[in-house]
């Protein structure tokens, strides 16, 4: 045989060996699931050795569990203890610096949304029965709803000092349910990047953040149909982007033909009517928080006010499904969606 040339048998054996190695190679996609924040959490890591991916996912889940235990709105937690202190009076309470940072940031979001995002109305959420794992179909006393609305608890009632926070309004009860999952997504990104994980998708009950890609393709995610199983639409989520949905289909009860969801309008003290779901996309250092928080004031603003609120919050990509199942969306969102079945368009898009 001439120099540098292999026999057909050698070539065949080399090909067979490579195929066997490929068959034995681990799947480049590692997935781990858990139940945290009252919902299913899934972490997908692409292209990392299995042991490293497993360790990274485990660290993220430990952080999620820590945040769950600190920020739970009604089970024993640091937040629950803070609420109890607020109810006793305006004396300052010593809290950890990172919790102060969370509360300051949530207060800033509340001001930016003209108070429609209002984590201080936990007493209203509890009054409607949503501080529980099950939601009995009952309406609270109208007088009690009116009393809490008149008390006007807001994030501006909080005052901050070095390592301390106080509330001048005893009606303030903090519920960070519209913030915590987004904050957890951002914490997951920090942990994964510190471990040099380049490609991952973190899903907390439909609040999703993407890092990198899934091989040579972007991460593809679905938007849940608010009334049927499966996806309403899909889209590609790019590096550093997060998507969040607020809907009336997860925490709700029905009474006399009407649906009452956990999303409370602070102005009326009542669950929002007229909207089934709002989905937004965010990016940047706080992509997770932005995707979680921004969907709430758009949902509360409703079919007539959501576009103005999106402008106010700098949201470029948003989708709203109204009570009749019709979709309205920004042009930037329309360019990204792949509808599953017939589009639900019932209102014109807006050029942005």
Q: How many CA atoms lie within 13 A of 70 on its CB side?
A: 17
- Choose among 286, 97, 295: nearest CA to 185: 286
Strand-pairing partners, residue 320, are: 278, 328
Tell me, what's the pLDDT at 305?
98
Tell me, what's the pLDDT at 348?
42
End-to-end Cα distance, the chain: 69
Strand-pairing partners, residue 122, are: none
Domain ranges across the chain:
29-70+181-339, 74-167
Q: How many CA atoms lie within 13 A of 308 on its CB side?
A: 8
Strand-pairing partners, residue 89, are: none
- Determine the CATH number of domain 29-70+181-339: 3.10.520.10
- Choose among 209, 172, 200: nearest CA to 292: 209
CA distance 114 to 312: 9
How many other β-carbons are positioned within 10 Å of the β-carbon of residue 252? 16
CB within 8 Å of 118: residues ≥ 6 apart: 110, 153, 154, 155, 266
CA distance 145 to 154: 16
Classify domain 74-167 by CATH architecture. Orthogonal Bundle (1.10)
How many other β-carbons are positioned within 10 Å of the β-carbon of residue 238? 15
Backbone angles phi, psi at 325, to 5 degrees: 80, 15
Is 347 strand, coil or helix?
Answer: coil
> Taking 80 as the threshold, does the pLDDT of residue 251 lie above it?
yes
> Taking 90 as the threshold, does the pLDDT of residue 252 lie above it?
yes
In percent, how much of the chain has pLDDT > 70? 89
pLDDT band at 346 (very low <50, low <70, confident <90, very high): low
Tell me, what's the pLDDT at 343?
66
**Residue range 159-171: mean pLDDT, rounded:** 97
- Choose among 231, 235, 201: nearest CA to 215: 201
């Amino acid at each position: 045989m001439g120099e540098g040339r292999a026999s057909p048998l050698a070539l065949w054996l080399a090909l067979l060996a490579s195929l066997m190695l490929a068959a034995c190679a681990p799947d480049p996609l590692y997935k781990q699931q858990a139940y945290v924040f009252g919902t299913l959490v899934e972490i997908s890591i692409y292209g990392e050795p299995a042991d490293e991916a497993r360790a990274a996912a485990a660290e993220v889940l430990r952080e999620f569990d820590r945040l769950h235990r600190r920020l739970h709105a009604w089970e024993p937690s640091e937040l629950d203890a803070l609420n109890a202190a607020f109810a006793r009076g305006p004396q300052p309470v010593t809290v950890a610096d990172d919790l102060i940072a969370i509360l300051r940031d949530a207060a800033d979001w509340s001001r930016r949304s003209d108070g429609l995002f209002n984590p201080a109305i936990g007493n209203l959420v509890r009054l409607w029965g949503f501080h529980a794992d099950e939601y009995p179909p009952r309406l609270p006393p109208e007088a009690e709803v009116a009393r809490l609305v008149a008390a006007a608890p807001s994030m501006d009632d909080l005052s901050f000092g070095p390592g301390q926070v106080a509330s001048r309004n005893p009606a303030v009860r903090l519920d960070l349910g519209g913030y915590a999952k987004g904050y957890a997504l951002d914490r997951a990104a920090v942990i994964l990047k510190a471990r040099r994980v380049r490609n991952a998708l973190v899903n907390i009950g439909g609040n999703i953040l993407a890092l990198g890609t899934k091989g040579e393709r972007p991460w593809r995610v679905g938007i849940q149909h608010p009334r049927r199983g499966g996806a309403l639409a899909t889209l590609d989520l790019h590096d550093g982007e997060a998507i969040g949905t607020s809907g009336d289909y997860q925490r709700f009860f029905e009474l006399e033909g009407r649906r009452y969801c956990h999303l409370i309008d602070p102005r009326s003290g009542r669950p929002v009517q007229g909207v089934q779901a709002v989905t937004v996309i965010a990016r940047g250092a706080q992509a997770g928080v932005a995707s979680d928080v921004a969907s709430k004031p758009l949902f509360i603003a409703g079919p007539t006010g959501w576009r103005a609120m999106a402008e106010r919050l700098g949201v470029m990509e948003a989708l709203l499904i109204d009570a009749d199942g019709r979709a309205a969306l920004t042009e930037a969102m329309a360019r990204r969606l792949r509808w599953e079945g017939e589009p639900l368009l019932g209102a014109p898009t807006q050029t942005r």
